[in-house]
Amino acid sequence: MACLLKNGLSLPGSCETIMSSRNKGSLLSVGAVQVADSRTNDFLGKTLIISDQKGFRGPNAKASRPLSVNAQASFCVSRSMRWWEKTLKPNMIEIHSTQELVDGLLNAGDRLVIIDFYSPGCGGCKALHPKICQLAEANQNAIFLKVNYEEHKPMCHSLNIHVLPFFRFYRGAEGRLCSFSCTNATIKKFKDALAKYGTQRSSVGEEAKGLEESEMLALSSIGKISRKLPMESALIHRVEDLVMGMGMGMGMGKAQIGIQETSELLVA
């Protein structure tokens, strides 16, 4: 099942809630409660009413009565629960920053690059992970860039990622080839894309395109990447070529002025 990204996703696991209560000026330690619900933050900072049960009585308690406590929650994921780190292959690379993603696409040459957007709390992502690892092992010339949605939400929002698991295929100067969401039930969609785009190609002398220009500008606007990127230089050259073509019949002086003014606008 795919995960829709509306209010964010919680990490799996239990939460240990440490509770205490003040009784006549003294601090009464009550104990710990294990909460299995993944939405553990719903009660953080609120008052909980717990009936007086065995294991929750103070040493001088005389009668059974409700106990009011303030809850504080701490959350951690054990190494055994980090399924997204298991069975990774050498061509599967975890992305730690937006700049790493941009560089990974630009430096891949003609190799097929697959961006795998996932979340630790997404059941569909967890179920699909072993098969993606198998496909990565069978297609070692492809590069799999793994993006943790929980750690890179602003970047994912700028790239219009709204459902998980989600995949994007890129190659060299062609840029983005396709994008789609799939689960275990629709894994054929992923395999078909591999069969279609996985054949090694050659485009000697052509620069890799990477992300779309609109996506680069969106990431730049939120400060996730520097504005001084190769994309801007390439964009300026494209505009220069366009202006030069338009200025063929009006004299080089005016065309050159148009190039200069357009370049200044792009790098302002």
Catalytically active residues are 122, 125
Long-range Cβ contacts of 73-79 (<8 Å, 24+ apart): 73/15, 73/16, 73/17, 73/35, 73/40, 73/41, 73/43, 73/44, 74/15, 74/16, 74/18, 75/11, 75/13, 75/15, 75/40, 76/13, 77/11, 77/12, 77/13, 77/120, 78/13
CA distance 245 to 112: 34
CA distance 167 to 113: 10
